Amino acid sequence: MMEEYTKYEEARIIGARALQISQGAPFMIKLNDEDLQKIGYNTVEIAKMEFKKGLIPMVVKRPLPGAVKKIAVSAKPFDQTKME
């Protein structure tokens, strides 16, 4: 189950992943040409889809009094062998 994120954490995660995609990183979800045309090849929309499915491999650090809590964004392990 995905941890509850603040709107700022969610925006940072999606923005960072959209930047990675725009610089040529492979998609973590399968999208055909029709799907890509429907969303206008928008990297932010692709990153949102990945975030909703829990596929973004990032860690959020939350500073707490006396400690730092690390939360892994990816709820599912990423298996690159299933990508085509």
Domain residue limits, the chain: 7-77
Say if residues 76 and 43 touch (Cβ distance below 8 Å). no
Measured CA to CA, the distance from residue 83 to residue 7 in angstroms comes to 30
Residue type at 34? E
Which of the residue ranges 28-32, 44-48, 66-70, 73-77 would you say has the lowest mean pLDDT?
73-77
Q: Which residues pair with 70 in a beta bridge?
A: 61
Does the 7-77 domain belong in CATH 3.40.50.150?
A: no
pLDDT digits (tens, 9 = 90+) for 29-53: 999 999 999 999 999 999 999 999 9
